[in-house]
Amino acid sequence: MRIVFMGTPDIAAVCLDRILKDGFEVVGVYTQPDRPRGRGMKLTASPVKVLAQSAGIPVFQPDSFREEETVEQLRALKPDICAVVAYGRLLPQKVLDIPKYGCINIHASLLPKYRGSAPYQWAVLNGEKETGVTAMYLVREMDAGDMIDAVRTPIGENETAGALLDRLAELGAGLLSKTLARFVSQGKVPAQPQDPAQVSFAPMLDKSFCPIDWTKPAGQVHDQVRGLNPWPVATMVLGGKLFKVYETVLTEGHGTPGEVLGLTKTGLRIACGEGAVEIRTLQAEGGKRMGAADYFRGHPLEM
């Protein structure tokens, strides 16, 4: 079966690596154009491009599929199926119609919950106890296609979005391989429509989500810190300084929201609207990431 793979970031590279190791025939890879990254803003290839080139697979990086020449380029690959994982673009109908069996997608949530660009982050931000990955057919509407299969997994109490993504990447890779194997053995695979009443959305995150509101319950503050790690990272102002907050745990205590309750051997306790959190890892503006207890032993607070 001739497969065209479309994806860009690390989660997509994990999925591509899995299906290559499992022996599927990948005849072409589509990924986002190289982007400037780092302090030097050097043009950098996506993880998917790096992997595809190392495997000797043709790589295509169109800015869009608006040009007919770009569409014909895909058509010339004669794909039986397109496998899409975090490609970063909505595919037009003329592209969806090219593969014999259509285009399938691995989405990092249990659809129909958390359609959109930040599904696993919002699952953590909202304090969900469970999430997963869904294999689905692509349609023009974002993440709205019929569902083929899903794999569920619990979310740890202190698990960050970044740690969760690493696990979802492996689960998604296994699900993609399993799903492609079904297409190989039986052709078109049946799927179930999504329940419109259960739909929710996971919009893109930005730095406006970062400032911590200490009037919220401790659980919500903790979920904010976990859900914004590794990006864009929760922030707080303390003693007139701005800090990025990378790690918290729930702890006992009460006081005025934002009040420093004390320094322990493991971190700094701060009161919330209900309960308290202990900040374990932070980064002062212009400084390096470090343990909160170590930082505040060297930079005492007036309490």
Q: Where are the domains of the chain?
A: 2-198, 207-298
* Per-residue pLDDT at 86: 97
Burial class (CB in 10 A: 0-12, 13-18, 19+), 54: exposed
For 289, what's the count of Cα atoms within 13 Å in the CB-facing half-sphere?
A: 10
C-beta separation of 37 from 198 below 8 A: no
| CA 182 to each of CA 29, 74, 108, 302: distance values in angstroms, whole numbers, following the listed order | 21, 23, 20, 63
Domain 2-198 shares a fold with domain 207-298: no
Pick the CATH number of 2-198 from 3.40.50.170, 3.40.50.1980, 2.30.33.40, 3.40.50.11140: 3.40.50.170
Distance of CA 134 to the CA centre of its chain: 13
Cβ partners under 8 Å of residue 278, min gap 6: 248, 249, 250, 251, 264, 266, 267, 268, 269, 270
Point out the residues of the chain with pLDDT beneath 70: 302-303
CATH number of 207-298: 3.10.25.10
Cα gap 263→3, rounded to integer Å = 56
Q: Which residues pair with 250 in a beta bridge?
A: 277
What was the pLDDT predicted at 302? 64
pLDDT of residue 42: 85
**Torsion of the alpha carbons at 209, 214, 217 and 219, rounded to the nearest 10:** 60
